[in-house]
Amino acid sequence: MVSSSKVLTAPRGVSIIGSTGSIGKQTLDIARAHSPALTGSHEEAIKIVALAAGKSKLEDLKEQILEFQPNLVSVPDQASKEDLLNRLKEHGKSLPLPTIMVGEEGLLACAEHQQADTLVTAVVGFLGVKPTLAAIKQGKRIALANKETMVAAGHLVQELAARHKSVIVPVDSEHSAIFQSLEASLMRGRPQEVEQVLLTGSGGPFRTWTKEAIASATISDALNHPNWSMGAKITIDSATLMNKGLEIIEARWLFQVPESKIKVVIHPQSILHSAVEFVDGSIVGQLGLPDMRLPIHYAIFHPQRVPSTRVPRLSLSQIKQLTFEEPDLERFPCLALCQEVARRDDSSACVLNAANEIVVESFLKGKIGFSGIARTLERVVGEHKPIKAPSLEDILECDKWARHQASLTLAAL
Ligand code: NAD
Ligand code: MG
């Protein structure tokens, strides 16, 4: 379960993989408010030491380099490196250029950067697995946004983290809330005090839609999340409630609780970010506005609480009303599938995750309809021969197999 971690003396060295995405940019906004130049107290200063990003937003990456001056940057390939170098040279500012690396080697170098005590995993998908494991082996603190790593390889992450005394602080808002709610109990070493985890979710854009309407939802309907502004993949996962299902599996490994003790509660206002019910009947939760900068800020400064000029304040009297309801497993079959996979506790989670990445990409390209997502996932998981406690090699193999199988299934739809 959660362990307490030492208070770091600063400036904190932070490496971000996925710096140009939704979480990456919000992490840099927190870093901007705590830049060593601004922050009088070194304890609260953040120094960005490494940034990795994909190839689609190199202009944003250039701006980030000029502003934060990391000493290492990674991009996916040689062409992106040349493009980025040209942009930096064109800019003409006489700043020392960072070392620029490419591909998996670059991603791992960012994760392992010697001056980073914290790695923020803000990449999307299975791509996060290897760099996260690499940073854990160096004993770094992981501010974990990349839930797919926990879904596909949660047991390996936890084994390694225990061995290398690496602390994993979740960034996913629900898991940050559970982590914060659990901390007092777990610091006393008494996980048996937990009755169940109450994992909240907004219900997504189709919460009130009929089954028939959901089946013919368009891409823009699915991208229209009521409360959160996020990357495209997680936004589609929120529409299918796959996101909530992946979060069950993420919570299962982060907090070492079985699926039977994780209850999903739909809460349309996204103010109670999740809660824990203890054996004496007490429910402890964490509240805040739906803004990811709060869990990011918390993860970076944990175990301290540090004031923030960036996190917007919640006024309960303005919110007025918080409502809760049961999830509908019939209208949202992806959630039911995730619950089943979480109960199996084997390589099926890795397969489901990989197939989902392929299927969501296909939906976003307009190749399949919304109802094709759940149908394909059910088939691929059904065809998988599960492996208990899979090794890293098993996981890499299952991921590859599931991507191939999902593509075949989609082609036959
Ligand atoms: P996003 O799509 O906005 O950003 C993904 C980032 O990964 C981008 O910077 C992209 O350039 C980068 N990337 C892509 N390929 C890369 C490569 N080969 N090497 C290095 N970087 C590469 O995604 P997001 O919404 O920020 O989500 C990131 C993760 O955080 C996901 O796992 C998501 O589930 C999780 N998460 C996000 C939110 C949110 O509010 N956005 C909330 C909770 C959890
Ligand atoms: Mg979440």
Domains observed in the chain = 12-171 (3.40.50.720), 173-285+315-328 (no CATH), 346-413 (1.10.1740.10)
* pLDDT at site 9: 56
Tell which one of 22, 73, 100, 338 to mutate to probe ligand 1, the residue whose CB is within 8 A of the most ligand atoms. 22
Percentage with pLDDT > 70 across the chain: 96
Cα(245) to ligand 2 centroid in Å equals 10
Q: Which residue's alpha carbon is at the smallest distance from atom 36 of ligand 1?
A: 145
Q: How confident is the model at residue 188 (pLDDT cuts 50, 70, 90)?
A: low
Cα(174) to ligand 2 centroid in Å equals 5
Q: Judge contact between 283 and 200, C-beta under 8 A.
A: no
Cα(147) to ligand 2 centroid in Å equals 9
* pLDDT at site 4: 44
Cα(5) to ligand 1 centroid in Å equals 26
Token pair 């809760």 in the structure block, residue: 324
Cα(125) to ligand 1 centroid in Å equals 8
Nearest CA to 139 out of 116, 170, 155 is that of 116
Q: How confident is the model at residue 241 (pLDDT cuts 50, 70, 90)?
A: very high
Q: Which residue's alpha carbon is at the smallest distance from atom 32 of ligand 1?
A: 146
Q: Which residue's alpha carbon is at the smallest distance from atom 22 of ligand 1?
A: 54
Is it the case that residue 205 has pLDDT exceeding 60? yes
Cα(166) to ligand 2 centroid in Å equals 22
Ligand nearest to the CA of 144: 1
Ligand nearest to the CA of 244: 2
Here the tokens at position 399 are: 């991921």
The pTM for the full model equals: 0.96
Tell which one of 30, 107, 124 to mutate to probe ligand 1, the residue whose CB is within 8 A of the most ligand atoms. 124
Tell which one of 150, 234, 249 to mutate to probe ligand 1, the residue whose CB is within 8 A of the most ligand atoms. 234
Is it the case that residue 91 has pLDDT exceeding 60? yes
* pLDDT at site 3: 44
* pLDDT at site 271: 98
- Residue 172 Cα: closest atom of ligand 1: 43
Q: Judge contact between 401 and 351, C-beta under 8 A.
A: yes
Q: Among 9-13, 57-61, 87-91, 123-127, where is mean pLDDT lowest? A: 9-13
Q: Which residue's alpha carbon is at the smallest distance from atom 6 of ligand 1?
A: 18
Nearest CA to 267 out of 174, 201, 196 is that of 201
Cα(22) to ligand 1 centroid in Å equals 6
Is it the case that residue 70 has pLDDT exceeding 80? yes
pLDDT tens profile 292-351: 999 999 999 999 999 999 999 999 999 999 999 999 999 999 999 999 999 999 999 999
Which residues lie with the beta carbon below 6 Å from any ligand 1 atom?
17-24, 52-54, 56-57, 76, 107, 122-124, 127, 145-148, 172, 228, 230-231, 234, 292
Tell which one of 15, 23, 56, 57 to mutate to probe ligand 1, the residue whose CB is within 8 A of the most ligand atoms. 23
pLDDT tens profile 226-240: 888 899 999 999 999
Q: How many Cβ atoms are within 10 Å of 26's Cβ, its own excluded?
A: 23
- Residue 243 Cα: closest atom of ligand 1: 34
Ligand nearest to the CA of 174: 2
Q: Which residue's alpha carbon is at the smallest distance from atom 42 of ligand 1?
A: 172
